[in-house]
Amino acid sequence: MNSRIKPVSRLSIVFILAVVISGSMLTYFSVNNISNLKELTEKKILEEQRGLSVRYLDAIKNNIENLANKFSDELNTHGLLIDSLLKAVSRYDCIDQLFILNKDGTFIFPNFPRLQKNISEASFSDSFKTTFEAGEKAEFVENKLKTARQNYLSSLQLSTEKADSAKAINALGRIYLKLNDFKNARACYQQIVFNYYSELSPDGFPYVYYAIQQLIKISNTATIDEMASMIESALGKMETGAISLNFITEKLLIQIGRWTNNNSFHQQGQLAHINKMIDKINLQLNFISEYETELPELLNIEATGRYLSVGNRYRAINAFSGGSGELILINTNFEKTVGFVVDREKLLAEILGTDIQSGFDFEYLSVLSPGNMNSTEYYLKYSSELLPFFPGLHIQIMVKDENLIKEFITRRSWVYGIASILILVAMLLGIILILRDISREKQIARLRSDFISNVTHELKTPLTSIHMFAESLLLGRVKSVSDKNEYLSIIINESARLKRMINNILEFSKMERVKPEYHFVESNISLILKTTIQEMAYWLEEEKFEVVTELDENISAKIAPEEIKQAFGNLLNNAIKYSTINKKIIIRLFKKANQISIEVEDQGIGIPEDQFDLIFNKFYRVDRKEGISGTGLGLTVIKGIVDAHNGEILVTSTVGKGSKFSILLNK
Ligand code: ADP
């Protein structure tokens, strides 16, 4: 035996090693993975939380840019028409306080003149001035109210300027009040509210403020509707900046509020509308008080660079006074400086309310907090400052349900565990298959080498006797005619045996290479069987066999006659070879249902049942103590031939009692 490892085996060992090494590594890593799963999951959660916080920051940035763009669109549509601009931006929840500034930083809207303007002092007509002053003298010095009323009426007729008319009407209203003429007083103040609302007194005080206060004083249940609509109109104009705001406005609003709450209106929604306007104006006042000095400064901070650019037209400024953290967007590229305050709460609530978590493995809870809270309640918490827009404000991200982490870990462990087991099983299976293949290869190699020695031996036996008998004949050693004939018949029979053996080898090698093509012809099968028995009669007689034939003479079918003859010859040959004591052979040919059956039954040594299937394999031989020679090809060839006929070969056998082989062909 050659003890060196063959190349195929070497390759298989390398392959097995590769499978074992990589499989073990994979298993090791997945086991490792399972034990580190908690850590890995926590890392993953932190990663997701970080990702989520980035999404929030992006969303804030995008939303602010969006707001700026929308605001620009509205500016382009409405210009500085405050009424329509206000109405337009009121549709955006997150745009809080709109403002328009002069380039010097003074307020245009909300209308809050920073310096008291002396605009109505100079009147165009001297006659107005003299008459009015006469009225004032009569009213305040001489206490002649009726004269004063006359003078004011005349001055009103003489006035050419709106400011003068307003001044005269205001004075008239005052006189009517003093004269207890409430009807005329109301008429005067009504005129101021509806027609002279934007006029200011010489000290920059809107007449309308005074008018409203007086109207409230003299109002009664009969005039409620009238009053309500006057107040609605005045508040509307204050809200849109037509009536300027000042340090008195707040008090006036309180007065109005008190009056509205003490009266019940007839028109539905009027009270709510008035209160809403009061709120809005109060917001404007708050805004003014907070930013009156600051906004102009903010506009000059270009040099300090303390602003962020939003889009290419806006500066975002975080109001630093008072730490309110309000975000102001200013557009300096427009003809006036225009801007608005971002309602931070609404903006953030809007973002928190969106479906921002899609694609994550876990669900998170996001909370806003003013500082970096250190909560011990949650063991996995990520906090991120909302920079750059809302410094100081943090978003805290926590896993919504901590139980889910445990579930996730268990689920993952199962997946890894099952995958590892599958890998192991696959690995083992692979190795088993490889080993099985190797042993099969080895077995075939052994069978092949056995076959070669068997075949040589098998061929040598008939050749030796042919040679021996032919030589005797040639040398004239055989004298009698009957001996000569016997020798010749031995030579013929031995060569027939040789021929059958060689035919088997040829047939087998043909089958191995290609699917053999047979010539099928209608043939009488009993004739074929008889001829074959005839050809082997010598051996049967020699070995003293009792041969029983039960042949149905009329059976013919479309078969390959040469090959069927070869197959039957092999069966008969085996029956002779493997019958050592009881030498009886029964040969049958009959039809059953749709099949033709050729049977060869002997009473020989038999075949163990567990080998019934194996004996048809190439080179396979049953180990025998009897030492009967053979090539292991006879049955293989028979099976090939029978298969080509779409038939079957069956075997039944009992060890020590005999065997029966049946070839079944389709009719
Ligand atoms: P060979 O006879 O050359 O060994 P075969 O393919 O014809 O090869 O047969 C395979 C094996 O089947 C034989 O080794 C033999 O052990 C067994 N066998 C075949 N026919 C018979 C039979 N009639 N009786 C007993 N054993 C048989």
Mean pLDDT of 173-189: 95
How many angstroms separate the first and last alpha carbons of the chain?
51
Task: Assess whether pLDDT exceeds 50 at residue 14.
Answer: yes
Task: Indicate the residue among 183, 214, 244 that finishes a domain.
Answer: 244
pLDDT in tens, 398-434: 988 888 888 888 888 888 889 888 888 988 898 899 8
- pLDDT score of 321: 42
Distance (angstroms) between ligand 1 centre and the Cα of 614 equals: 10
Residue 419 lies in a domain: no
Distance (angstroms) between ligand 1 centre and the Cα of 623 equals: 10
Of 44 and 265, the structure prediction assigns the larger pLDDT to 44
Residue 263 lies in a domain: no
Which ligand 1 atom is nearest residue 575's CA? 23
Residue 89 lies in a domain: no
Task: Indicate the residue among 244, 262, 285 that finishes a domain.
Answer: 244
Please tell me what DSSP assigns to residue 6.
P
| Residue with CA nearest ligand 1 atom 25 | 606
Distance (angstroms) between ligand 1 centre and the Cα of 576 equals: 11
Share of the chain above pLDDT 70, in %: 93
- pLDDT score of 141: 94
pLDDT in tens, 513-549: 888 889 999 999 999 999 999 999 999 999 999 999 9
Residue 137 lies in a domain: yes
Domain that holds residue 584: 516-666
Residue 199 lies in a domain: yes
Distance (angstroms) between ligand 1 centre and the Cα of 573 equals: 9
Cis peptide bond prior to 202, omega within 30° of 0: no
Entry pTM: 0.57
Which ligand 1 atom is nearest residue 570's CA? 7
Residue 54 lies in a domain: no
- pLDDT score of 3: 43
pLDDT in tens, 100-133: 988 777 888 998 886 555 454 556 678 899 999 9
Distance (angstroms) between ligand 1 centre and the Cα of 193 equals: 129
| Residue to probe by mutation, ligand 1, list 578, 652, 655, 663, most atoms within 8 Å of CB | 578
- pLDDT score of 567: 96
Residues with CB under 6 A from ligand 1: 574-575, 578, 602, 604-607, 615, 621-622, 624, 630-636, 659
> Which CATH number belongs to the domain containing residue 212 in this structure?
1.25.40
Residue 532 lies in a domain: yes
The CA distance from 317 to 308, in Å, is 7
pLDDT in tens, 188-207: 999 999 999 999 888 788 99
Beta strand 390-399 with 107-109 is unpaired
Residue 339 lies in a domain: no
Task: Indicate the residue among 244, 275, 302 that finishes a domain.
Answer: 244
List strands edge to edge, sheet with 364-369.
364-369, 390-399, 381-386
> Which CATH number belongs to the domain containing residue 638 in this structure?
3.30.565.10
- Coil, strand or helix: which one is 73? helix
The CA distance from 494 to 490, in Å, is 6
Of the candidates 118, 132, 207, the one whose C-alpha atom is nearest the C-alpha of residue 168 is: 132
pLDDT in tens, 351-405: 988 888 888 988 898 888 886 666 555 678 888 988 888 888 889 999 888 888 8
* Domains identified in the chain, total number: 2
